[in-house]
A = this chain, B = another copy of it.
């Protein structure tokens, strides 16, 4: 199949290009290299060094004897994305080209507006470009489990059948997102739902839990095709940040009381799931939702798992909770469904313990790069807008 990946240079986009290509799919993508620029602008860098695009491309050619085309496109511009889709005529578009940072979106009005415009208009332009250039293509869109928030009930996959005052209907499950960024994903969801209804486009909207991992098998040991791994407060996801903390002897830093519970997924299984979506498209006009995660943990338990995995490879790791810079429930019910992907054959390919050991081993090689930017491990951006670096909580040490 022909697969177009907006965001092909990113943490998920680049491994997905390798993963799909190694399975025989033909891949092109788009990227304006914004993620690289944003992390640099914040003053941080990827824990794992990544090569420039031209070297990625050359290595890709070496491995697959095939060129990988990246369209240098700002998705806020309609014409270029339309032209790329018209030229390539993809069967599927896996849209990973959004700003994925909740903290960044909470910095101030400019960052909030920038995140909302970038994500909403980027997706809107892809929908219009599909309508005009490839109306039968399948849009695989990356949303987030964070769209649902933490309601006091089970979370179905996108829709639920309910009875209210004696009448029944199947309706979109209510969303309760927790940042301007998470809101963009909800806005996308509604926009995509509408485009499928009005123009008979088809889409799989993936509600993905936070991803963790340093590699996929398709990379082998070739450092030239490594993917980025951010650990700064804006672009680092929680397990990736814990692992970076672990290898430099920094305490792991769960936020608040540490009982926020989410579903997580290793990088390799994120690739597996997106590929399942691509290879099993919905019907014309169908909008479907996949909840995509593997294990459900609270952040304290996650820290404990990292600590244990570290011990096995000789790391002595401390855990110290931080004041929570976010506004979120710290104790809550959490039981999301995850049936659609399992029905299509998804099987977890690794235990969290094994993945953590691989990650810690990979990251130990880049300890110096993490140490060099270790101040970025402690968050400064607060949901209240009163930004300053957060401090450790005292409730665990009992020493004040």
Per-position binary interface string of chain A over residues 356-376, scored 1 when its CB falls under 8 Å from any chain B CB and 0 otherwise: 000000000000000000000
A residues neighboring B (CB under 8 Å):
76, 78, 108-110, 112-113, 116-117, 120-121, 124-125, 128-129, 131, 151-154, 156, 160, 162, 164-165, 167-169, 171-180, 183, 186-187, 190-191, 194, 197-199, 327, 333, 383-385
Q: In whole Å, how far is A391's beta carbon from the nearest beta carbon of chain B?
A: 21
Complex CA–CA separation, A262 to B59 (angstroms): 60
Number of copies: 2
> Which residue on B lies nearest to A172, using beta carbons?
B174
The 8 A-B pairs of least Cβ separation, nearest first, read: A109-B128, A171-B174, A153-B167, A152-B169, A78-B109, A187-B187, A172-B174, A153-B164
Q: In whole Å, how far is A106's beta carbon from the nearest beta carbon of chain B?
A: 8
Complex CA–CA separation, A176 to B158 (angstroms): 13
> Which residue on B lies nearest to A154, using beta carbons?
B165
10 contacts between A and B (CB under 8 A): A108-B128, A112-B128, A117-B117, A153-B164, A156-B164, A172-B174, A173-B174, A175-B190, A183-B190, A187-B187
> Which residue on B lies nearest to A147, using beta carbons?
B190
A113: chain B residues at CB < 8 Å are 76, 78, 121, 124-125
A116: chain B residues at CB < 8 Å are 120-121, 124
A165: chain B residues at CB < 8 Å are 153-154
Q: In whole Å, how far is A152's beta carbon from the nearest beta carbon of chain B?
A: 4
Complex CA–CA separation, A180 to B175 (angstroms): 19
Complex CA–CA separation, A352 to B383 (angstroms): 48
Q: Are A333 and B385 in contact (CB under 8 A)?
A: no
8 new A-B contacts, CB < 8 A, other than A171-B174, A183-B194, are A76-B113, A78-B110, A116-B120, A120-B120, A151-B169, A171-B176, A179-B194, A187-B187
> Which residue on B lies nearest to A169, using beta carbons?
B152
Complex CA–CA separation, A49 to B168 (angstroms): 48
Complex CA–CA separation, A168 to B153 (angstroms): 7
A169: chain B residues at CB < 8 Å are 151-153
Which of B131, B174, B187 touches A120 (beta carbons < 8 Å)? B187
